Copies of this chain bind each other. A is one copy, B any other.
Amino acid sequence: MLERKSIVSIEDVSTEEMFEIFRVTDEMQGSIDKKKRLTSMSGRIMSTLFYEPSTRTRMSFEAAMHRLGGSVISMAEPKASSAAKGETLADSIRMFSSYSDIIVIRHPLDGAARLAAKFSSVPVINGGDGSGQHPTQTLLDLYTIYHSFSSIDGLKIAILGDLKYGRTVHSLVMALSRFDVEISLVSPPILRIPDYIKSRVQDNVKLREETDLNEVLSNCDVLYVTRIQKERFSDMNEYNSVIGTYSIDVSDVDKMKKNAMILHPLPRVDEIKPTVDYDPRSAYFKQAANGVPVRMALISLILGD
């Protein structure tokens, strides 16, 4: 049902399609585990157009395409592009879409991916545009939760950190609101989730806001941690107090449920101490690894087998 579709926002993916993606992701993970050689994308070309660097996202998409037997052409040096000569994004996309079968775009400006999808003759996947959307991150977050608990409904999910600027969090909260979940939003007051997100989801989910992590730690099934960026703070005393409180260490994890899971979109700096990595509840590396099979599933469903 995703055939030939562009995925600009997580809203472009119906809940039914989401479960279809999860089902195919399980298959893809099985193939990876068995070192099975897939060839369904053999002869097909993906363009990865990164107008803003993101090695992690680019390489995850490229690995996914290669695992399916496909090829990749890549633009990862925006200053070298025709954009530098004054070409519009619409023109660039028309050209790149004639070179390839699917486009992944990353762009510093909100709405760039939607515009690309409009002018492209082939499907476009948004790899993150401005403070807008990053739908494949949300898909892999949800897949990681779903795969662990076999359901998303009924879970208590705490989200911690910079809830104001983090587009990962916004997409995740929006997507979670389709399910029967309880969401606790834990952040310093100045980094609370924007009202427009809250108003769009609060009819569907139980939402509460906290500043104290201890209010949620012992109770949540999922603790989703994000990075707090120093440059968001004008008062360094405030920053230092916050950053200390929100740095997860082993003593925090000890308060959590035995089968809870800790997620993080990565890169992580100091939000989660390295000692936590050895606790079985830490799932952020597995979450990152899930990026490949989730993207394999998405590419397969969009381009057909």
Contacts and interface: CB of A to CB of B under 8 A. Distances in A.
Contacts of A63: 45, 73, 99-100
Contacts of A274: 88, 90
Nearest to A92: B267
B35 A266 contact: no
A17 interface: no
Contact of A37 (B35, B42, B269): B42
Interface size class of A (residues with CB under 8 A): 35 or more
Interface in A43-63: 43, 45, 47, 53-56, 59-60, 62-63
Interface string A60-88: 10110011010101011101111001111
B266 A95 contact: yes
Interface stretch (A7-15, A216-224, A285-293): A285-293
A95 B55 CA distance: 11
Given A62-B73, A69-B43, A267 B82 contact: yes
A56 B75 CA distance: 9
A245 B99 CA distance: 33
B81 A67 contact: no
Contact of A53 (B43, B59, B77): B77
A99 B56 CA distance: 10
Interface in A96-118: 96, 98-100
Contact of A99 (B60, B95, B227): B60
Contact of A43 (B38, B80, B268): B38
A281 interface: no
A94 interface: yes
A144 to B, nearest CB: 13
Contact of A75 (B55, B66, B96): B55
Contacts of A85: 227, 267, 269
Given A60-B99, A87-B266, A87-B269, 15 more contacts: A37-B42, A37-B43, A43-B69, A53-B77, A55-B82, A59-B75, A59-B99, A63-B73, A77-B77, A82-B266, A85-B269, A86-B267, A86-B269, A88-B274, A99-B289
